Amino acid sequence: MVKPDHWIRAFGLEGGILPFVEDQINPASYDVTLGSHWICPTRDPEEVEVDSITLFPGEVVLATTREYLKMPRDVVCDLKLKSSLGRLWLNHSLSGWIDPNFQGQVTLELQNLGPYPRVLTAGMRIAQLVFIGMESPPEVAYGEKGPRALSGTKRCHTRLERGFFPTDHRKTEEIERVATALGGPMSLL
């Protein structure tokens, strides 16, 4: 069952959302804002901490929410990009699911699908969180010890494990040789 505004208000006031701003409560969601940590694999430096970034057409950036969540063991959350930004061809792609017991800032994968550059600013409302109550708490929640243990985030994820995606390692090794020869790090392989 989707949690209503009064549940979100109580959750925020109890420290479940930090910082918590009552004006960001909607009837069935909570607006989250952009933080100031950005990772853009097409730029040098790739990772920056600044108040704003211009996202060019076709470009992708990892960002974080300013808000830090402390999810209960029996509630999950679905992140949805603000529809007003979607109408400007900004897209939040890939993951938007937040597990029960998650603690951390939410990582956002933002892409400019439109024909014009878009300025993203720390503090701007970017997405809304829809909280959903579970039938019962899981056997092993996010961050707990067990066979499916995961932990929270405080910043954007900067590197992917080499074995995470199947790749043609001959091409990967060639790219690494070229990057090393040019003096650049291979941060996404």
Question: Tokens 């060019």 sit at which residue?
Answer: 56
Q: Which two tokens stand for residue 143?
A: 């961050």
**109: phi then psi, degrees, rounded to nearest 5:** -110, 100
Q: Which of 51, 33, 39, 37 is nearest to 129 (CA)?
A: 33
DSSP secondary structure letter of residue 25: B
* Residue in 109, 135, 161, 176 annotated catalytic: 109
109 flagged as catalytic: yes
Contact 53, 62 (CB under 8 A): no
Q: Which two tokens stand for residue 48?
A: 């920056």
The residues assigned a catalytic role are: 109
